[in-house]
Structure 1
């Protein structure tokens, strides 16, 4: 059987279906303004033609109304633009659902990178035993975060799920109804969600997708690689940040953390209950039916009362199921054995916690909290800390903190942040007691800059709840370029600290280290952020191996290349032997969750790709970079870093984002529970910018600066010096550099400078716009030269086609957004008192944000 090329499969299963269903959608009669469905294609055409002629968004909008709707008054024009936004948002949903439905047809579910392919290639190379050994120690953890990059409310996500199924079944009647429902369902949230709301919406994916896809992968591994034997290692697990991530989200309280942990436990118990009910219908044999009924009742009673203790412990549940399995094998010809094994596998994967909650807080908060605590202890004449603690050097303070003992008199804790920190620690202890230690066993310190930062938390954990039995891993997060450069020194100080070394020994000599991409890219630009993390990992691997510590790297990879994302599995397959890779751990956020893991098929496919990428990195002989290649990589990163630092220090950098982009509108979208910037100052400072609004604002401008800026300048220097063949050799030899280049090309392919070309004539910002445009042109030309391509993403035609359709769908949205931003600037200059008009155009900008971001789901 011949398999069609991927692009052909995409065109048949996605593009042609979208054209058919979109034409149905455009004629649905749910619209209070007549002809919106007829006028939108005309507006789309006007935008296309206008940008080709070099017109600006304001001219394009005016020309459209002049040509097609000359009689409309200004209010009616605004109403129509809002209607266009509503239609386009729903076109994006329709495209999402069609792409999700076609996933198994477009992607080869047994192809390269899947478990079947991995097993078959290991068998043919006589490496099956080696594969088993790796699977006994290798783990993948995807960590879901509530970072707000997804604008769909729960009701719309439900419609996407139903629409995907109807499209897959070619059920035209249901598709019609769902498209009509979509037309009438609001997309925006009137109130900000709470952190608990965010947790509940992500738990939907756990309950309806991950429970099944994780189970299915594990079942396949057990049956086909381990010959149905039990596997000690759980291989795949899921982490969870909503409800535990207090960094910069002041609304996450200890109460919310506990509530989320309880909700996770209730949800997994419900899933087990459903499976047990299904088993009960099958295991109708004498002596088994009653035993299953007892488990069923106890599971039901365990989740029916919110927050109550389970009626059956995890150990008892597992033991009883294993006893039933033995009887089925011994007395009932192993009938339904695979179903029993499958449930036992899920218990092995998810326990009573379902997902592993991480606690995260910023080192600056800890430092201030700890210093408040230290002052209180010294004042109260406590013997926990010496009176001269604040006069001691950092090294001496670390020594004191590593040996700290005692119990805190809680009446001393007057400071609110201090109380919250202590309550959070106690909550962690309580969750471990209720849901098992696996439920929450990591505390991540953002913005770690020193050993002292880690030991301050170490001391607080002991004083607040854990004393001599610290059943928690402390994970420093190194984010900025300077922090990454000293990370190995910080870790060496910890490894040689007797108290910390003893703690590590109790934790099986495993050390979690998180490395951040978003703030790294914001801080150092695209090439340097990625290279600095690569080098930091090498140094951290070396120092960890020196002290016999298993280092586990956890990557804050985000979704788009600008946040460290891109082709994730290729990235992990490219690391080579100088970086420890027994585990792959990464954050997944926002639309990356729904696009890469939102359906059973996409979730299973992308998880398998991650498992095989980590194992490929082990099984294949990835040679370390040669000295010559390292020298070139270092030089490219340094040149691009200097270019990027000069750019971000430009006096127009922050004003440009503040006044010419959508940056300040992110806070008005009500999609996330947390503030849109750190710090409380009125004026906007670069360091207070959060990575998501920062990256998102460049994306809305279609300039995608964080994914390419500085790359062109670095390549140009080699071209001008007649040494371009050195970069070509690096591209040919290094999978790591090749992946960086391909991800940057994806960022470039989503840039569209004609949209903002009008800014080049702006008195204040024209020269700044030109700087960005020049770097874009240089980077694009030299990356095409380097890869020998005629067009961006030439080697990924299906991915490119998906991006092109999505970009085409939202072109009118972007045009409306830029038109509204220009109107706001004019009103602020000429008529700042007209608050009503300002409000209308600000609402246009905010509403147009939604569809643009949702359409960018394949930025990962």
Structure 2
């Protein structure tokens, strides 16, 4: 909560600094005497009405910067009266100036520097970009369980899902507060509760969505609604469930259909719903091949459920920079989404490691934004074809086989995780200050607690790039049998989703380097680990051969 509050203040400081510079330029440029009656009434008799009119907001922007600097240095709460509280405080005087200039036949000036600044204010708001809040579902579950225990209410952890939904709905609708403001909580629960308090104290226009990591039930979503209500949030942040494991993706449509049956929730957000699709953790959970197909199917089903309940659905793609975390060319990725799921809107995460290459200069930023706009329009107006039944049947079988093979490596061989720990630089990567979050969710050796970023980076460092291909060998072996080979060829030529997936696989295979992998093993591995390495490299060599055999040479 403390870090989030500081980020919001720093963003507001940066925005105020940029706005102040633009207002100074505007004041210097507008030396005109003629103005509207509205501005004349405010400034009185003066030869420089626009300058006099705009100086107060320029001064308040300067004051905002000084107050934020002071409160961060002194570690205190800012005095709200000294801050610009809403972007409307910036937009309204600009609109008045624009209308005044237009009324005195100075449309060229109005439509130039003034209109440009108005557009920027509407685009960037009070703090340049809205900040999403993200927390795991388990933290909300633990907080509500603790509250119920302290208040002597039924044990929340032992309630059925149906009973939890009933309890949360009842408490949300109740005018009586559930959680006392002076309640004593442990460190973890207090951190979660403090974050919600911070949300209630921050300007609403500084915040975007509340993303629930590892969401798997309706109660996970309603719990966030209740907690926002308990801290006095007047306008709840839109709630975005993030489905990231294989099972959660497969069950996501069931969860959302059950949620949409609660009219009070649907009506609160005016039949708008955003859903985040997890790429990194689903790939770590089931392997890239199975995860990609699960993501495709989940989007299809969620789109159908949204249509059934007349919900305006926005899919938020939690894509990473690397292929193992869902990365790849944006244009091709959006054009390979299930037909009817883009609908002129999308959200996509941009990871830190790719921001420089996409937005490092004005021309790059324009190109990247243009790519997004073009891809969204094309996917909406000319969506890809629906996959044939025989394509679905084959990729279903390939996906099941791929997932089983991937998990067999992770779970059945005790030396596999030791190979990962000792051969890759996983521990060093975890100590570097290059990530936004700790390398692990919990201090445990369980692979489930390891975040996807160090998992992918570590395998990439030794040039094995395992998260992007492990399990795919067995899937392609199945596709190489009998008539499957003809079906696979048809899928490659006619199905953008499958073509994109195989195109990324081909690119990844060219990035692997078995000489580098062997060198790491020679330096760090014992005989048991070398055996694991030989098996992985054998699997990789087999996959490279299958890829060349099955994929037409002109595509390769």
Using structure 2 for the length normalisation, give the TM-score.
0.88
- Decide whether the 8 Å contact of 1:567 with 1:739 is kept in 2: no
> Where do 5+ consecutive residues of structure 1 fail to align?
1-253, 379-384, 795-860
Answer whether contact 1:402 1:458 (CA < 8 A) is retained: no
What residue is the counterpart of 2:137 in the other structure? Answer: 363
Residue aligning to 1:730:
491
Selected match of 1:438 from 194, 202, 205: 205
**1:597-628 deviation digits (Å, cap 9, x = unpaired):** 22222222112111111111012142221222
State the 1:313 CA deviation: 4.5
Alignment match of 1:460 (pick from 218, 227, 238): 227
Rounded to whole Å, the distance in 2 between the matches of 1:523 and 1:716 is 22
Distance 2:148 2:230 in 1: 12
2:530 to 742, 766, 769: 766
> Equivalent residue for 1:419?
190
Counterparts of 2:358 and 2:367, CA distance in 1: 9
Structure 2: tracts of 5 or more residues without a match: 34-48, 69-77
Distance 1:346 1:558 in 2: 28
Match of 1:511 in 2: 273
Which residue in 2 is equivalent to 1:326?
Answer: 99
Partner of 1:561: 323
User: Within 5 A, what are the aligned runs for 1:139-178?
Assistant: none
Match of 1:285 in 2: 32
Q: Is the 8 A contact 2:394 2:479 kept in 1?
A: no
Residue in structure 2 matched with residue 449 of structure 1 by the alignment: 216
Query: Within 5 A, what are the aligned runs for 1:373-522?
Result: 373-378=147-152, 385=153, 387=154, 392-404=159-171, 405=174, 406-407=176-177, 408-432=179-203, 437-466=204-233, 469-497=234-262, 501-522=263-284
Q: Answer yes or no: is the 8 Å Cα contact 1:708–1:744 preserved in 2.
A: yes
How much has 1:749 moved relative to structure 2? 2.0
**Aligned with 1:678: secondary structure?**
coil
Could you list the per-position Cα deviations for residues 572-609 of structure 1 after superposition, in whole angstroms to 9, with x for gaps in the alignment? Answer: 12224242444221222221112222222222211211
Which moves more between the two structures, 618-627 or 305-314? 305-314
Counterpart Cα distance in 1 of 2:422 and 2:493: 42
Structure 2 contact 331–375 (Cα < 8 Å) conserved: yes
Counterpart contact for 1:302–1:308, Cα < 8 Å: no
Secondary structure of the residue that 1:258 maps to in structure 2?
Answer: helix
Q: CA deviation at 1:268?
A: 1.1
* Counterpart check, 1:256 vs 2:21: no
SS at match of 2:349: strand
Task: Say if 2:414 is the partner of 1:651.
Answer: yes
Deviation at 1:569, TM superposition (A): 2.2
User: Is 2:527 the counterpart of 1:789?
Assistant: no
2:510 — aligned with what? Answer: 749
Q: Distance in 1 between matches of 2:79 and 2:278?
A: 37
Alpha-carbon contact 1:373-1:418 (below 8 Å) kept: no
> Among 58, 79, 84, which residue is 1:296 paired with?
58
Give the match for residue 778 of structure 1: 542
Q: Distance in 2 between matches of 1:340 and 1:419?
A: 46
Change (3 A) 1:704 1:545: same
**Alignment partner, residue 315 of structure 1:** 88
1:641 equivalent to 2:418? Answer: no
C-alpha distance 458-292 of structure 1, shift in aligned 2 (>3 A): closer
Bigger relative contact order, structure 1 or 2 (CA pairs below 8 A, ≥6 apart): 1
**Equivalent residues of 1:425, 1:465 under 8 A apart:** no
- With structure 1 as the length reference, what TM-score do the two structures score? 0.58
Task: Map 1:704-853; keep pairs closer than 5 Å.
Answer: 704-721=465-482, 723-758=484-519, 759=521, 763-789=527-553
CA contact (8 A) 1:522 1:706 kept: yes
CA distance in 1, matches of 2:258, 2:436: 37
1:332–1:362 distance in 2 versus 1, CA, 3 Å: same
Q: Deviations for 1:633-692, whole angstroms, at most 9, x for unmatched residues?
A: 2222222222211122232221001011101111332334643222223xx221121111
Distance 2:437 2:159 in 1: 37
Structure 2 match to 1:36: none
- SS of residue in 1 equivalent to 2:107: coil
C-alpha distance in structure 1 between counterparts of 2:418 and 2:491, whole Å: 38
How many angstroms does 1:301 deviate by?
2.1
C-alpha separation in 1, matches of 2:61 and 2:157: 53
User: For the structure 1 residues 417 and 318, does the alpha-carbon distance in structure 2 shift closer, same or farther, using more than 3 Å as the test?
Assistant: same
User: Given the superposition, is the C-alpha separation of residues 316 and 452 from structure 1 closer, same or farther in structure 2, using an over 3 Å criterion?
Assistant: closer
